[in-house]
Amino acid sequence: MRLAAVPDSRLVSAEAAAAAPPPAPAPAGVRIIRNLRPGVDRNTCGQAAIATLLARFALGPFAPGTASPSDGEAIDLVCRDFPPDLPFGLGTTAWRLCAALRHRVLSVEHVHSAWFGRNAEGALDRLRDHLDHGLPAIVCLDHGRLDGPAWSGHWAVALGMDAALVHLGNNGPAGDLPLEVFMHAWRCRHLPFAHNHCALLARREATP
């Protein structure tokens, strides 16, 4: 996901990124879908994140009794009904991702830090609680602060969190992030309201 923004300096140098701990393996039972097809998977990180959660909950193309799709096939299936909704295909908003998850009968809580990031700690508490229950969450990151393309956003999947690190899937070479670095990248201050310290917390709908 990419949107124009007011210029700002990066927080994480190439040296710091290279020195970061290697990505932790995904927790047992969590398949990470990655948008890596050259020339095809342009700005489909949101769809890859959706497919990762569908795989976690065994829904849609990952339902029991179905042939497990490749990463590319899973992304294409999500894109068929929920393609990027920003102009010129520049990415996918949180609202489109929420709609895609609810379409698969998942309950979704859209967490963000409100105006001026004033509820960042509250958003972090909600994300940590969700992860502590063994549930992955979709998070929006400022890749420009992780030595990615300047002023670009990226939908990654948070898999867990401890006192020092946030464990991430589909986050490119940055992999897992120290908590302080994650908080700066999670701020996404160049993105619109509701995408700052944004996490999409999905779980199965409660049975009546």
Q: pLDDT of 115-130, one tens digit each?
A: 888 899 999 999 999 9
What is the distance between the alpha carbons of residues 13 and 17, in angstroms, rounded to a whole number?
Answer: 6
Q: Is 5 exposed, middle or buried (0-12, 13-18, 19+ CB in 10 A)?
A: middle
Q: What is the pLDDT of residue 21?
A: 44
Lowest mean pLDDT among 21-30, 98-107, 115-124, 199-208: 21-30
Q: From 67, 66, 94, 68, select the one nearest 82 (Cα to Cα).
A: 94
Write the DSSP assignment of 28-52 as a string of letters. Answer: TT-PPP----TTT-TT-HHHHHHHH
Report the C-alpha dihedral over residues 204, 174, 41, 131, rounded to 10 degrees: 0
Is a pLDDT exceeding 70 seen at residue 26? no
Q: What is the pLDDT of residue 1?
A: 54
Q: pLDDT of 181-191, one tens digit each?
A: 999 999 998 99
Q: What is the pLDDT of residue 117?
A: 85
Average pLDDT over residues 173-177: 82
Residue with tokens 């009794």: 65
DSSP-H helix ranges across the chain? 14-19, 45-57, 71-81, 94-103, 120-132, 179-187
Average pLDDT over residues 80-90: 91
Domains of the chain: 14-204 (3.90.70.10)
Q: From 175, 142, 155, select the one nearest 53 (Cα to Cα).
A: 155
Q: What is the pLDDT of residue 29?
A: 63
Q: Is 9 exposed, middle or buried (0-12, 13-18, 19+ CB in 10 A)?
A: exposed
pTM recorded for the entire structure: 0.85
Q: What is the pLDDT of residue 22?
A: 46
Q: What is the pLDDT of residue 112?
A: 97
Residue with tokens 């007011």: 6
Highest mean pLDDT range out of 20-29, 177-186, 199-208? 177-186
Q: pLDDT of 32-48, one tens digit each?
A: 999 999 989 989 999 99
Helix (H, G, I), strand (E, B) or coil at 174: helix
Asked if 193 contacts 115 with a C-beta cutoff of 8 angstroms, the reply is yes
Residue with tokens 């379409």: 103
Q: What is the pLDDT of residue 198?
A: 98
Residue with tokens 């589909």: 170
DSSP lists the bridge partners of residue 156 as: 139
* Residue 88 pLDDT class (50, 70, 90 cuts): confident
